[in-house]
Amino acid sequence: MSEEIEVEALEVEVSVQPIELYKVLKIANLVSGGGEAKYAISDGYVAVNGEIELRKRCKIYDGDVIEFNGEYFVVICDQPVQEAVPRDQQATKVTPAAKAPKKDKKVPAAKAKKNKSAPTTSKNRSVTKKEALKTENKADTATGRKPISF
């Protein structure tokens, strides 16, 4: 014989269903961020419909009851369930290229060929490993900062 106890539950309104569990905790302001929500779920502090839920991305639907920190929350959503579309069936939006008339440009022979051995002056140039090692231990003289290494 199971006896049901009626408990007052707060409502959490969401705009779409299904919604992932960690997002519901964020929407209800039960946690300060997504990382904290995921941590609480993975450590077993959250129950969905009376059972401990360890999946952070567990799909939550209208009417599901979430228990967290001794409080109960009922998910309310007035939107229909959105069916997941497999990636191979998703429509991709293709925008046609702008139709501009092609102009024939004549490039002088001297500019057509680039000299690959010449140094570049661009700020976004690639740095060789040897150059990176030279500057690794030097602090930037303007700001006094050292480069970050992982």
How many domains is the chain partitioned into structurally?
1
Query: Is residue 103 domain-resident?
Result: no
Domain assignment of residue 88, yes or no? no
> What is the per-residue DSSP string for 62-130?
TT-EEEETTEEEEEE--SPBPPPPPGGGPPPP-PPPP-------PPPHHHHS--TTSPP--TT----HH
Concatenated DSSP letters for 26-58? HHTTSSSSHHHHHHHHHTT-EEETTEE---TT-
Residue 85 inside a domain? The answer is no
Cα 82 from Cα 58, distance rounded (Å): 15
CATH number at residue 63: 3.10.290.10
Average pLDDT, consecutive stretches of 10 residues, N- to C-terminus, the chain (150 residues): 69 91 93 93 94 93 92 90 70 55 60 51 54 54 62
In a domain, 132, yes or no: no
The answer as to whether 87 is a domain residue is: no
Domain range enclosing 26: 10-76
- pLDDT at position 43: 93
- Kindly state whether residue 71 falls inside one of the protein's structural domains: yes
pLDDT at 104: 60
Residue 117: inside a domain, yes or no? no
Half-sphere exposure at residue 92, Cβ-oriented, CA atoms within 13 angstroms? 4
Alpha-carbon distance 99 to 14, whole Å?
A: 44
pTM above 0.75, yes or no: no
Q: What pLDDT, on the 0 to 100 scale, is given for residue 83?
A: 76
pLDDT of residue 129: 56
Q: What is the pLDDT of residue 122?
A: 44
Classify residue 22: in a domain, yes or no: yes
pLDDT for res 120: 46
The DSSP 8-state label assigned to residue 148 in this structure reads: P
